[in-house]
Amino acid sequence: MSASTHIADTHQPDAVPLKQDAAVIGLVGLAHATSHFSHLLLAPLFPVFMKDFGLSYSDVGLLMTIFFVVSGSGQALAGFLVDRVSARPVLFGAVGLFLAASLVASMVTSYWGLMAVALLAGLGNAPFHPADFTILNQRVSAPRLGHAFSAHGLTGNLGWALAPVFLVGITSLADWRTAYHAAAVLYVGVLALLFWQRDKLRTEVVVRHADAPKGSDLAFLKLPVVWWCFAFFFLSTMTLAVVQSFGPSILKAAHGASLELATLTITAYMLCGAFGMLVGGFVAAQTTHSDRVVAWAMGAGAVLLLVCATGWLGAMGTMAGLAATGFAVGVGGPSRDMMIKKATPKGATGRVYGTVYSGLDMGFAVSPVIFGALMDKGYYGTTLAGAALFLMLAVVAAVAVGKRTVAR
């Protein structure tokens, strides 16, 4: 990346009070947790749907593909929308779509109904990263951005951790339709709080000049570093999708773990990832070499996954290994977001974040199809080994981003 490339635009006064920054970070973090909760609106109950509707691993994997194809393609477009109309109204609309998805989920009677849930939730998920990062970059003071990105990633992991406990827990006490009614109430509460505190989520739109060159809105797409960032998200998410979609099923099939114990694997992975992101926030604030932190963290995670793939650790050992993987990857999370910030041209925050984070959605979309086929054939160890391979390839992409980004 050339030295003339600028970091993401910010709009922030000097000496911003901690209370003001904390309020913005907290609200955006809540929204991000809601987004990640919705990633798992269906996956924790896959075993139930497979039984009730007679579905295969490939069938339920396709539901995740639908969700993330819609989210990924919509995310790139949502970045332009955020830059044009501001982040706040887009964020409100997204939570409203999650509410609609949970209500539809409570009424489905067939596989087609589950597909409709995946579609609605995917549309709702699309705007979150461009909206969240636009708000953080404009409303949080520069010295606290590293911690803001840490909190953003941490709350996302907490959303992932909550979803399986929330949905499976309520299903075990009542039924899965009641679980989705409860999810709808949760979304209403989040939307009400965000609307009440809406003044803290206001952002400025990107001013377009009449004499701007034709196609200038797309100029960022010519930067190779943007596509290396996209590749990084695509590859690293291929791994995460395996843990989320098939981790419990691998523990059940390969080690005889119960559904409840196997489901806790996702929660343990996400909680350890959240703790890793908390640690990673301090690391990101102290280093200018964000790409190196990311590479070491992802590399450690890949090694841990390979050990889990051998099956030597047994059920509890594999759970512990996957949780440790979550911590390792989590440490690299805030540095990852700083890495993207450094690669973002001025005035293109929504567009760049929307584009590179669509790689995350594409990884989630492709991974269940590939690894679902392996799962159907009983290749459980191979599935985890493949996840480790993709995480190691993400290290290569992170190094490539570092070589093309000016350290700041």
36-40, 121-125, 169-173, 204-208: least confidently modelled range: 204-208
pLDDT value for 217 = 61
Residue range 348-360: mean pLDDT, rounded:
74
Q: Are 390 and 362 in contact (CB under 8 A)?
A: no
Residue 13: its pLDDT value, please? 45
pLDDT at 7: 37
**CA–CA distance, 387 with 346 (Å, rounded to integer):** 35
Residue 311 pLDDT more than 70?
yes
Residue 256 structural domain? 18-202+219-403
Q: For position 158, what pLDDT does the model report?
A: 84
Q: Say what the pLDDT of residue 39 is.
A: 87
47 versus 115: which is more confidently predicted?
115
Q: In the prediction, which pLDDT does 208 show?
A: 57
Q: Does residue 10 form part of some domain? A: no
- Asked if residue 58 has pLDDT above 90, the reply is no
Q: What is the pLDDT of residue 312?
A: 85
Q: Give 6's pLDDT tier (boundaries 50, 70, 90).
A: very low
Residue type, 177: R
Tell me whether residue 309 is in a domain. yes
Count of domains observed in the chain: 1
Q: Which of 220-224, 258-262, 335-339, 372-376 has the highest mean pLDDT?
A: 372-376
Q: Give the pLDDT of residue 10.
A: 42
How far apart CA 7 and CA 341 sit, in angstroms, is 6
82-99 confidence digits (pLDDT tens): 878 888 999 999 999 999
pLDDT for 176: 94
Does any domain span residue 194? yes
Answer whether residue 363 shows pLDDT above 90.
no
In this predicted structure, the answer to whether residue 117 has a pLDDT above a threshold of 50 is yes
**362: in domain:** yes
Q: Is residue 101 part of a domain?
A: yes
Predicted pLDDT of residue 345: 64
Q: Is residue 76 part of a domain?
A: yes
Q: What is the mean pLDDT of the chain?
A: 83
Split at pLDDT 50, 70, 90, the class of 115 is very high
The pLDDT value given to residue 33: 94
- Compute the average pLDDT of residues 1-14: 41
In a domain, 5, yes or no: no
pLDDT 10s digits, 209-260: 555 555 556 666 777 778 888 888 899 888 888 887 788 888 877 777 777 7
Mean pLDDT for the stretch of residues 316-335: 87
Please check the confidence at residue 294 and state whether its pLDDT lies above 90: no
Tell me the mean pLDDT in the region 136-150.
82
Q: Tell me the CATH number at 111.
A: 1.20.1250.20
Mean predicted confidence (pLDDT) in 269-283: 83
Q: How many CB atoms lie within 10 A of CB 99?
A: 19
The reply to whether 3 falls in a domain is no
For residue 114, the model assigns a pLDDT of 96
For residue 103, pLDDT beyond 90: yes
Q: Tell me, what's the pLDDT at 53?
A: 92
Residue 406 pLDDT class (50, 70, 90 cuts): low
At residue 24, does pLDDT exceed 70? yes
> Lowest mean pLDDT: which of 206-215, 266-275, 306-315, 389-398?
206-215
- pLDDT of 5 reads 37
pLDDT at 122: 93
pLDDT band for position 265 (50/70/90)?
A: confident
